[in-house]
Amino acid sequence: MIDLSAVHIDYQTVLPELVVTGTIVVVLLLDLVVPPDRRRWLAVVSVVGLAIALIASIPLWGQHRSAFADTMAGDSFAAFFNVLLLAVTILTVLISPRYLRCVHLDFGEYYALVLSAAAGMMLLAAATSLMTIFLGIELLSLALYVLCSFSRLQEHSQESGLKYLLLGGFATGFLLYGMALIYGATGSTTLLGIRAFVTSSPGTNVLLLLGIGFLSVGLAFKASAAPFHMWTPDVYEGAPTIVTTFMSVATKAAAFAAVGRIFVATLPSLEAQWYVPLALIAVLSMSIGNVVAITQSNLKRLLAYSGIAHAGFIFLGILPGTTDGLAASLFYIAAYAAMNFGAFAVVTALDAKGEHADELTYWTGLFYRRPFLATTMTIFMLSLAGIPPTVGFFAKLFVFQALVTAHLWIPLIVGILTTVISLYYYLRVIVVMVTVPEGAPVEREGVGLPMTVVVGLSALGTTVMGLVPQVFGWALQATRF
Amino acid sequence: MSWYQLPATVPWLTIAVLLPLAGALLVLLAPSAARSAIKQLGVLTTVFTLVLVGLLLGGFQQGTAGLQFDEHHSWITNLGISYHLGVDGLSLFLLGLNALLFLLALAVTDPKMPRFKEFVLLMLVLEAATTGVLVALDLILFYVFWEATLVPLYLLIGAWGEGRRIYAAFKFLIYTVLASFFMLVAILALAALNANQTGTLTFDWSTLVQHPVTGSVDVLGIRVGIQVLLFLGFAVAFAVKMPLFPVHTWLPAAYTASPVPTLLIFAGLISKLGAYGFLRFNLSLFPDGTRSAGPYLAGLAVTGILYGALMALVQSDLKRLVAYASMSHLGFIGLGIFTQNLLGVEGALIQMINHGVIIAALFLTVAMIERRAGTRDRTQLRGLEQRAPLFAALFLVVSLAALGLPGLNGFVGEFLIMLGAWSRFLPLAVGAGLGVILAAWYVLRMYQGAFQEAPSQPTAFAEARWTEAGVLAPLLALMVVLGVSPAFFPAAVQATVQAVVSR
């Protein structure tokens, strides 16, 4: 019998996660009694729960708490990611009911699964132990496996879920094996313990390096970074668009939270050892993502490859191994969340009509049919391409600045060259949208108030986030561990 | 001295940037069908901007080198990025050219064109961006404005252009963005080096100017001064924008594909932004780098003069002919800049204004010819002089200014540049002189071919309308005024230029 009385449980640290978990239970129970045509109330309950969790995250800002014997942290870093992840989840839930009704997937479990995934991501962002990292990853992955195959009658969706499950399971194996090796090498599962070991015995420890290598494979898989990105286009394409919207942004953010905690906060002294593999991942992601995206004619696949490329850019900020570099990555993640969520939300809005919206040909002349969606999509594309004054430019600027300060020229050059390449396919989307359509113009129709608000908010965030200096200040403060 | 004093508490330059944006916002809210209202809105916005810039021109303290109408606020303090706007002799008259050309461009925009509202909207956004480029003094802020000009230009060519417009727009975009990234790296490196030297990270031009970077690094085993490297990083971006030979290949495609109002801005103004960048950043921040690398760029500039002139000689399409003529004249500006002496740089500054005025007028008249005759092929036009004598006279003045006839503005700039080049690069000055002779050849042949001789076929060719003459009038007036009293410019800009070349 283990004596748990000595374990200090700090409820404030885990309050956001607790609230989200509680909401899962409430939603599941409510699902039993809410009549099918009132299921949007589940969305309302979810949003309320998520909003409370968001408010509960804010007091963590500026604190240095830890709970459950140093396995979870309640600090600015966790608060930053909690707010980001919860905001993304709230926006997702807001645009879900209409989409789910349109594609006949209006089931209560959907909300419970999205909330579970969110809880897992928050756990991952706060995790300071190999065990909690694993818990977080599994919680978010299991929920997403189901969500990807949520459209039960669509073969595409089933294929997507299965692919994600099989490959994801494989990656988890790597992750777990790496954790075992690290534990074997250092004798500790908490990041604090590992850090203490690494600083006290500076020699080369093959077991530890192998463990870190395997661990990064698992995390790079979740962040969909090359060369572990193969699943991304297929899964993104097959999954219901709303799920893709959510996971493309939130999963990546959560995975990078763990990457930041492990590499920058725990292992900065081993930077010389992990620099080359991580730089390879970054360079490969940017190159493969941006080059292959050129050939895509399906918008969901195009955005999948673009997401792979952006994972590479986010890795760039990790490379210097400094908290300033990590702050640039954090800003990039927030920027990516705004612009990529917006872009996928536009696809979702068009998909909801049961149209084949993900084929690029469908977007011909969108400006004349859906001026609002086309205009916002233009903003998102410009931002993803990194053109000022959108936030995408500032994100790249801060990351490049970190590389220049650290004199890391080769990743910088690759980053710049691939940015230029990426212009081609992002701008092609805009050109397609302004091309005059053939045949009779289709009637304009609305997309509903929630979608208008959510897309509008994303566009606003994409436009002003870079111009408001405080955001980068927050990213800097979040990395003061 | 200045003609009057403007209150210093008003953020004049911010207003100058925001005014076109406010106009764009109003256009955005207007219904697409209200074409004449949109046109009036667009023209009025540019008129207000021109009036504002005119106020600044009069309120500018002449004879001082420093920045005026200075606005300095902290922005992203953690990275030393600030919001810094200001005007000095380098940017003053370009601001005026900017405002004037946008007014003319919107005045000649045809309200019956497809998607007129979006066109006006993008033009106004473009004006805000180009104004920002001219007044921004923080390197990151400058970069933001610099890149922000690209998207409107890209869309204006891509969606409203003619011929191979998508190809031309893409080619222009890829060239300029790729080049701009070199500048971005140079900006970041410059700030990092400066931070090593002084201990504070800043992107503020006025601070960086006071601490020129020193030292050298090994690049592939060759010892290169850091200033030279940074100089090259900036130079690539500006050379492509200008464009200098051999990175000019996007120019003929883009100029030919541009709709006329955009072309006025493109040829008249955007190319000057490249030249302005050279003056503002390369010469000021890297004086040693300019001394080492400048002669090579001056050589490229003269190559461009001769290449553009030779290419202009063999064109039969008037629009392409003027495009190459423009490139040839831009070579003079490049040559003047890299002489790095008072005469040359002053000449370049004057020539920048002249070139904007002359090229805009040339493209406007070519567009008028095309609208009347249905073609702009030099070989198919003949004897227009007899049908439209007034139009021919207008065209002749513009042509003579283009070939640098004394008494018109083209002569002043070219003469000063040649004087400046004579004392520093004698062989290059001779080459540039050859370019002047070639210019006379292709310009006069263009005039003779299209306007003189007997008309070949009895096609109708209408006389110049009052509206057309009205659009050309300010440009023609400028040609004469600047040609007759060129001393006006040097007096206003001399102090700044002196400060730049004596670094």
d(CA B458, CA A180): 92
CA A165 and chain centroid, separation: 18
CB contact B174 to A (< 8 Å): yes
- Identify from B166, B170, B171, B177 which residue to disrupt to test chain A contact, counting A C-beta atoms within 10 A and taking the largest count: B177
**Mean confidence (pLDDT) of chain A:** 90
Alpha-carbon distances, residue A362 vs A99, A341, A370, A442, B281 (angstroms) = 19, 20, 12, 12, 45
Rg (CA), chain B: 22
Q: Are the beta carbons of B374 and B381 closer than 8 angstroms? A: no
* Tokens read off for A305: 């490859």
Q: Is A2 helix (H, G, I), strand (E, B) or coil?
A: coil
Question: Which residues constitute the domain of residue A242?
Answer: 5-478
Q: How many A/B residue pairs have CB atoms within 8 Å?
A: 63
3-state helix, strand, coil in chain A (%, to 5): 75, 5, 20
What are the beta bridge partners of residue B164? none
Task: Please state the rounded mean pLDDT for residues A397-425.
Answer: 90
Work out the burial of residue A440: count CB atoms within 10 Å of its CB; fewer than 13 is exposed, 13-18 middle, 19 or more buried.
exposed
Give B337-395 pLDDT, tens digit per residue. Answer: 998 888 888 889 888 988 999 999 988 888 888 887 777 777 777 777 777 888 888 88
- Name residue A10's amino acid: D
Q: Which residue has the tokens 């909003």?
A: A51
**pLDDT of B170-221, one tens digit each?**
888 888 888 888 899 899 889 888 888 888 888 998 888 888 888 777 777 7
CB contact under 8 A, A469 and B155: no
Mutation target to probe the B interface, by most B beta carbons within 10 A, among A326, A387, A413, A479 is A387
pLDDT attached to residue B76: 82
Res. B18: pLDDT tops 60:
yes
Distance (Å, whole) CA A292 – CA A425: 10
CA distance B174 to chain A (A): 7
Give the pLDDT confidence of B469-486 residue by residue, as tens digits. Answer: 888 888 888 888 888 877
Tens-digit pLDDT profile for residues B37-51: 889 999 999 999 999
Q: Tokens at residue A347, please?
A: 């696809």
The pLDDT assigned to B460 comes to 67
Q: For residues A316 and A404, is the Cβ–Cβ distance under 8 A?
A: no
Average pLDDT over residues A26-39: 90
Count of structural domains within chain A: 1
Residues A302 and A308 sit within 8 Å (Cβ to Cβ)? no
Residue A38 burial (C-beta neighbours within 10 Å; 0-12, 13-18, 19+)? exposed
Nearest to A432 by CA among A382, A340, A369, A366: A366
Report, as an integer, the average pLDDT of A271-296. Answer: 93
pLDDT for A217-238, tens place per residue?
999 999 999 899 999 999 999 9
Place of tokens 């921004």: B136
Strand partners of residue B225? B216
Burial class (CB in 10 A: 0-12, 13-18, 19+), A303: buried
3-state SS record for B17-31 = HHHHHHHHHHHHHCC
Whether A414 shows a pLDDT value over 60: the answer reads yes
Beta-bridge mates of residue A72:
A67, A127
- 């500076």: which residue's tokens? A202
Contact (Cβ atoms closer than 8 angstroms) between residue B147 and residue B183: no
Query: Would you state the structure tokens that stand for residue B160, as one six-digit string?
Result: 């409203």
Contact: A420, B79; criterion CB under 8 Å: no
Distances (CA, A) of B83 to A36, B10, B77, B80, B150: 55, 16, 10, 10, 21
Structure tokens at A60: 């963590």
Among chain B residues, the shortest Cα distance to A425 is held by B170
CB–CB of B78 and A476 under 8 A? Answer: yes
Please check the confidence at residue B458 and state whether its pLDDT lies above 70: no
Q: Classify residue B462 by its DSSP letter.
A: P
Would you report the helix, strand and coil content of chain B in percent, each value rounded to 5? 75, 5, 20
Tell me if A249 sits within 8 A of A345, measured CB to CB. no
Chain A residues within 8 A of B154 when measuring between CB atoms: 427
pLDDT of residue A125: 93
Which residues in chain B touch residue A410, judged by CB atoms under 8 angstroms apart?
A: none
Cβ of A436: how many Cβ atoms within 10 Å?
Answer: 12
The whole-angstrom separation of Cα B217 and Cα B230 is 12
Distance from CA of B303 to the nearest CA of A (A): 29
For residue B26, CA distances in Å to A452, B19, B117, B156, B172 come to 22, 11, 11, 19, 30
User: Residue A248: is its pLDDT beyond 80?
Assistant: yes
pLDDT at A57: 94
What SS3 state is found at A190? Answer: strand
Residues of A whose CB is below 8 A from B160: none
Hey, what are A441's tokens? 């113009």
- pLDDT at A439 (0 to 100): 64
Contact by Cβ (8 Å): A210, A186: no
What is the SS3 assignment for A355?
coil
Burial of residue B212 (number of CB atoms within 10 Å: 0-12, 13-18, 19+)? middle
Q: Assign residue B115 a region: left if phi > 0, alpha if psi is -120 to 50, beta otherwise? A: left
The burial class, CB within 10 Å (0-12 / 13-18 / 19+), for B7 is exposed
User: What H or E segment, with its residue span, contains residue B223?
Assistant: strand B222-225
**Cα distances (Å, whole numbers) of residue B109 to A177, B35, B112, B117, B322:** 68, 11, 9, 11, 20
B chain contacts of residue A416, beta-carbon cutoff 8 Å: 181, 184-185
**Interface test mutation site (partner A, options B160, B171, B183, B184, max chain A beta carbons within 10 A):** B184
Task: Report the distance separating Cα B384 and Cα B501, nearest Å.
Answer: 47
Give strand pairing partners of B71: B85
Tens digit of pLDDT for each residue in A108-129?
Answer: 899 999 999 999 999 999 999 9
First to last CA, chain A: 34
User: What is residue A112's predicted lDDT score, i.e. its pLDDT?
Assistant: 95
Q: Domain ranges for chain B, please list them.
A: 286-503
Say if B412 is an interface residue toward chain A (CB within 8 Å).
no
Per-position DSSP letters for A391-445, written without gaps between them: HHHHHHHHHHHHHHHTT-HHHHHHHHHHHHHHHHHHHHHHHHHHSPPSSSPPPP-
Phi-psi region of A435 (alpha: psi -120 to 50; beta: other; left: phi over 0): beta
Instruction: Give residue-wise pLDDT tens across range A426-465.
Output: 988 888 887 777 665 566 667 788 899 999 999 999 999 8
Tens of pLDDT along B243-269?
888 888 888 888 888 888 998 998 889
Cβ contact B389:B396 at 8 Å: no
Are the Cβ atoms of A416 and B181 closer than 8 angstroms?
yes
> In the structure, what pLDDT confidence band is assigned to residue A191 with cuts at 50, 70 and 90?
very high
